[in-house]
Amino acid sequence: MRKSIALAALPALILGLAACRGTSPSEQPAAGGTETVTIMVGGLDKVIYLPAKLTEQLGYFKDAGVNVELKSEPSGADAETMMLAGQVDGVVGFYDHSIHLQAKGKCVQSVVQFADVPGEAEVVATAKAATITSAKDFAGKKLGVTSPGSSTDMITQGLAVKGGVQRSQYTIVKAGAGATFIAAIDNGAIDAGMTTDPTIAKLTSTGKAKVIIDMRTEEGTRAALGGLYPGASLYMPCDYVAAHKAAIQKMADAFVKTLKFIDTHTAAEIAAKMPADYAGGDSALYVQSINDSKGMFTADGVMPADGPQTVLDVLKASNPDVQAAASIDLARTFTTEFVKAAS
């Protein structure tokens, strides 16, 4: 926490000065006149957000002529908050935030759609596997999510409603991801929870948990949520998108190139390009986690045609803010302008 605050101190000062001029820090060109864009990733080491770091590792940002600073915040909800506060220019997180934020009167757009499914799974502690086999069994249980308001929370609510269980009937627990989520399973703080790879692979390979709802594939997502549920994306405030089209196009060029790399290379080849510490000391397990989730990524960054409506349907059934909104204009929650130009 103190480290995050320390890292944010200097950008916050710059942002304060920029606000006085009515400009954002990304309007300050880096050395050589290259525009700098700051992106907060809801967990850089999560496989669902692999395209962000992989693009940097492959040198595609540099090739495209844009300077992208990647920062990491474990919770997508917290990353969203930092973007709204003007501390970063955009977020690599779930598309559903764009709909949720519109319901709260804010305009945010997905400009590159990395995945057309969540890439997440509901896992249950092995000791509780006999009594929790589906969302119908959520009543009376402690369910782990990254944090309240995160996409894992919103999807959990959607699954519960589809299973006939209301929000008041179960307890949401902030379990984080990675080591903290695994610890929550180990010490009984949660009975089940939603997480991503490589956490899923670590839990299942050690026998600590079992997958009961798998949304890492199109088939599993359609079965769980009734259609494609676009997950990982790069989303940004609409006014930023309108003012920085050149820089966003360069990022889109880089990201689409990475998505094509993922589509045409094996999990082992992809893992070899990532920082060594992302494997957590078990390279074979890391390759497995990429292989298990690799199918969730789009090959071109384009939003799936039926995806936004599925997300809206899920949120309408479970999210109070979306339920209270007079209307939701899905066309304003994403754009394919940049990725289609990249293709």
Taking the domains of the chain in order of start, what are their residue ranges? Answer: 2-117+230-342, 120-215
Quick check: 183 pLDDT over 60? yes
Q: What is the mean pLDDT of residues 126-153?
A: 95
Q: Cα(163)–Cα(166) distance, rounded to whole angstroms?
A: 9
130 — pLDDT class (breaks 50, 70, 90) = very high
Of 334, 310, 339, residue with least CA distance to 155? 310
Contact criterion met (CB below 8 Å) for 20 and 82: no
pLDDT at 20 (0 to 100): 35
pLDDT at 9 (0 to 100): 43
Whole-number mean pLDDT of the chain? Answer: 90
pLDDT at 79 (0 to 100): 87
Of 50, 48, 56, residue with least CA distance to 94? 48
Domain 120-215 has CATH 3.40.190.10: yes
Q: In this predicted model, what pLDDT tens digit does every residue of 269-319 receive, in sequence order? A: 999 999 999 999 999 999 999 999 999 999 999 999 999 999 999 999 989
Which CATH class name applies to 2-117+230-342?
A: alpha beta
- Percent pLDDT > 90 in the chain is 84
In the chain the first and final C-alpha atoms are separated, in Å, by 40
Residue 320 CB partners (closer than 8 Å, separation 6+): none
Tokens encoding 296: 């969730």
The most distant pair of C-alpha atoms in the chain lies apart, rounded to whole Å, by 61
Phi, psi of 305, deg, nearest 5: -55, -40
Q: Tell me, what amino acid is at 95?
A: Y
Handedness of CA 15, 21, 25, 30 (dihedral sign): negative
Strands 192-196 and 120-125: antiparallel
Strands 108-113 and 142-145: unpaired
Q: What is the mean pLDDT of residues 40-48?
A: 93
pLDDT at 141 (0 to 100): 98
Of 199, 230, 195, residue with least CA distance to 97? 230
149 — pLDDT class (breaks 50, 70, 90) = confident
For the beta carbon of residue 316, count every other beta carbon within 10 angstroms. Answer: 16
pLDDT at 343 (0 to 100): 67
pLDDT at 29 (0 to 100): 54
Radius of gyration of the chain (CA): 19
| DSSP H or E segment with residue 215 | strand 209-215
Tokens encoding 162: 């589809």
User: Can 2-117+230-342 and 120-215 be said to share one CATH topology?
Assistant: yes
Q: What is the mean pLDDT of residues 8-37?
A: 50
Quick check: 194 pLDDT over 70? yes
pLDDT at 33 (0 to 100): 67
Q: What is the mean pLDDT of residues 209-221?
A: 97
Residue 283 CB partners (closer than 8 Å, separation 6+): 271
Is 23 in a helix, a strand, or coil?
Answer: coil
Of 179, 218, 208, 215, residue with least CA distance to 194? 215
| DSSP H or E segment with residue 41 | strand 36-41
**DSSP conformational letter for 115:** B
Quick check: 11 pLDDT over 50? no
